[in-house]
A and B are shown apart, each in its own frame.
Chain A
């Protein structure tokens, strides 16, 4: 099992540019999460998908952020336009079920720097 795969590992972009982060969850997992980690705010849940459907996007900072899950094996998080305050490490996680009693597996993250 290759685990949760995220790409790219590092992204440096200029303010105003569009950024797309990618995630491949573990096969068979029906729950997918996007988290963001900063020194100031720690780990924050951005959005939760269950069976490819967005269930909770209350953590998405603003309209500049959007996430999609077109199929069970792929999800994207897009920021357009990007701003310096979006600089953070973005993690994708997947789980076999969103209900309690199951652990989630996190990817290695994408470190985004907006200059």
Chain B
């Protein structure tokens, strides 16, 4: 699977949009981009995934660049409860395995 690069940490003001970047320059054509998050002391939570097109659900939006080498997870109106470690993961082909890196610690400040 392609390796991903994320910033170690980010801050966001409550009520503002949180934009979390992820680089995956070695992604191949059949690999999806997944985002999970882990709130302290809880299990990882699936947020969203995409292949080529931008995706939106009730939690977030996923913007994937045209060359698919990077993506951005957008939380449109961050709340204090969105403080968590956010993981960007690339998975594809016949690979069932989710490989978690260190992720980005997003801290939402009042």
Tally of A-B Cβ pairs under 8 angstroms: 51
Whether A103 lies near B46 (C-beta < 8 A) is yes
B42 CB contacts on chain A under 8 angstroms: 108-109
Are the C-beta atoms of B93 and A100 separated by less than 8 Å? yes
Chain A residues with CB under 8 Å of B91's CB are 100
Minimum CB–CB distance for B102 against chain A, Å? 7
CA distance A36 to B92 in the complex (A): 22
Please determine whether B43 and A106 come into contact, CB atoms closer than 8 angstroms. yes
Specify the chain A residue showing the minimal Cβ separation from B102: A42
Interface residues contributed by chain B, number (CB under 8 Å): 24
**In chain A, what residue has the closest Cβ to B45?**
A106
Chain A positions within 8 Å of B80 at CB level: none
- A56 touches B (CB below 8 Å): yes
Given contacts A103-B46, A105-B46, A108-B42, contact A48 B30 (CB under 8 A): no
Report Cα–Cα, A40/B44, bound state, in Å. Answer: 17
* Chain B, range 37-58, C-beta contacts under 8 Å to A: 42-46, 49, 51
Whether A104 and B32, one on each chain, are in contact in the complex, defined by CB atoms closer than 8 angstroms, is: no
Enumerate chain B residues within 8 angstroms of A42, measured Cβ to Cβ.
100-102
Q: Which residues of B contact A101 (CB under 8 A)?
A: 32, 49, 51
Residues of B at the A interface (CB closer than 8 Å) are 30-32, 34, 36, 42-46, 49, 51, 91-102
